[in-house]
Amino acid sequence: MHRLDRPHGAEVCVRTGILLIASILTGVTGAGGQLGVSGSLLDLTIDELAAILPPGTTLMMHPDAIESFLIELDGEPPDWPVVYGHGHHDPGHDDRLFTLNRERDAKREGNPALSKQVAFAWTGSLSGYDEAVGGYPVAIGPKFIKTSWGMVRFKPEEAPGNLRVSPDASQVQRLLERGQSMEIDVVMTGRLIPEESIVYDFSHDEEGLGLIMPFVKVERVDYVMSRSQYQ
């Protein structure tokens, strides 16, 4: 089982207005075999984002879409209070959590939803232009989305490395020169890892809050940012 990182307990508010998208220009392999991507900024709406992704891709950026996907995979949410019991110090807590994951993994085998292509977002932060990489490096971190099932955090099997926005993004440089921070959405597209598609756990920040982590093998990366940052 993968290491379970602690969530930050923040509900993600997905932007639905005009977006600026960095489409994939070049996919490369970086250090350690990680996926590296350089992209140019494009002016698109959220619907246009869906249109440029591979056919059949489901955007996992809103609780409703995520909940529908989880229903396809696992039917219904866990009975979190029963699994949690008296908390992390409950002698049966770890065993119940292990049993929950093992039983759901078994029931999920052969489910057609496992092969669906999905796209989810992590937060990205841009830094100044780096001549060594030929672009603006992007540092990424996870988002947590509050749903009726619990807090959801999508996790890439391997976090993409060497992410950068291409140097033709002049508006990026203008913003950074003014000393303003720039946060973007790094949209990752891929499919669930069949042998470990979803891991159930609990938040370490809020007692009894269920945490659901779908694991995705990333095949594509796009950069998305709020247009309002450039006005």
Distance CA 35, CA 79 (A): 37
Positive or negative, the CA dihedral 3, 4, 8, 10 is: positive
If phi > 0 it is left, if psi is from -120 to 50 it is alpha, else beta; for residue 32 that is left
More confident residue, 14 or 172: 172
Tokens 């930050």, located at residue = 8
Does residue 2 belong to any structural domain of this protein?
A: no
Distance (Å, whole) CA 131 – CA 222: 21
| 138, part of any domain | yes
The interaxial angle of helices 93-108 and 63-74, nearest 10 deg, is: 80
Q: Tokens representing 186?
A: 């790094």
Identify the domain containing residue 49 by its residue range.
Answer: 33-226
Residue pLDDT, tens place only, 4-36: 343 443 344 333 333 444 444 334 333 333 455
Q: Is residue 97 part of a domain?
A: yes
In a domain, 125, yes or no: yes
What does the pLDDT read at residue 39?
A: 74
Confidence check: pLDDT of 138 > 80: yes
Establish if 194 belongs to a structural domain.
Answer: yes
Q: Are 171 and 113 in contact (CB under 8 A)?
A: no
The larger pLDDT score, comparing residue 166 to residue 218, is at 218
24-83 tens-digit pLDDT: 433 433 333 345 577 766 556 678 888 989 999 999 989 999 999 999 999 999 999 999
In this prediction, residues 133-141 reach a mean pLDDT of 86
**Which amino acid is present at 155?**
K
Number of domains comprising the chain: 1
* CA angle centred on 192, ends 74 and 112, rounded to 5°: 55
107: its two tokens: 């029931």
Mean pLDDT score of the chain:
80
Q: What integer pLDDT is reported at residue 197 of this predicted model?
A: 96
Is 24 part of a structural domain of the chain? no
Q: Are 25 and 166 contacting, i.e. CB atoms less than 8 angstroms apart? A: yes
Query: In which band, very low, low, confident or very high, does the pLDDT at 155 lie, cut at 50, 70 and 90?
Result: very high
User: What whole-number distance in Å separates Cα of residue 71 and Cα of residue 64?
Assistant: 11
162-185 mean pLDDT: 73
In-domain check, residue 203: yes
Backbone angles phi, psi at 4, to 5 degrees: -100, 110
Separation of alpha carbons 41 and 33, rounded Å: 25
pLDDT at res. 42: 57
Give the Cα separation of 142 and 7 in Å (integer): 8
> What is the model's pLDDT at position 60?
95
- Classify residue 3: in a domain, yes or no: no
Sequence length of the chain is 231
CA quadruple 62, 64, 66, 69: dihedral, nearest 10: -150
User: Backbone phi, then psi, for 128, in 5-degree steps?
Assistant: -65, 165
